[in-house]
């Protein structure tokens, strides 16, 4: 399994913040994929309610939003981002 993030798809002043958010978001999906037996229905949910209202997208965004500041703080302390 692989998480592939297109860093050049993220634009603007908050590019690093957006990349970190996307990374957290995708890591949450990976965790869901391992833990949630219902995750196999991801595409079904997307077809039924759309990408933005897919329960897995909502959960992943919620996780990323909740952990973004702390993750950035940690990465700054480690000298990984400035």
pTM of the model: 0.85
pLDDT for 47-77, tens place per residue? Answer: 999 999 999 999 999 999 999 999 999 999 9
Band (pLDDT 50/70/90 cuts) for residue 1 is low
Half-sphere exposure (Cβ direction) of 43: Cα atoms closer than 13 Å: 1
pLDDT at 75: 96
d(CA 56, CA 52): 9
Give pLDDT tens digits for 30-40.
988 888 888 88
SS3 label, residue 82 = coil
Lookup: tokens for 54: 């897919």
Please give the Cα distance from 50 to 29 (Å, whole number).
Answer: 17
Rg of the chain in Å (alpha carbons): 14
């Amino acid at each position: 399994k692989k998480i592939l993030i297109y860093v050049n798809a993220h634009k603007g002043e908050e590019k690093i913040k957006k990349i970190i958010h996307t990374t957290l978001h995708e890591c949450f999906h990976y965790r869901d994929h391992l833990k949630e037996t219902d995750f196999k229905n991801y595409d079904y949910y997307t077809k039924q309610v759309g990408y933005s209202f897919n329960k897995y997208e909502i959960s992943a965004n919620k996780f990323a939003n909740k952990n973004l500041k702390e993750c950035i703080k940690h990465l700054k302390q480690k000298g990984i981002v400035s």
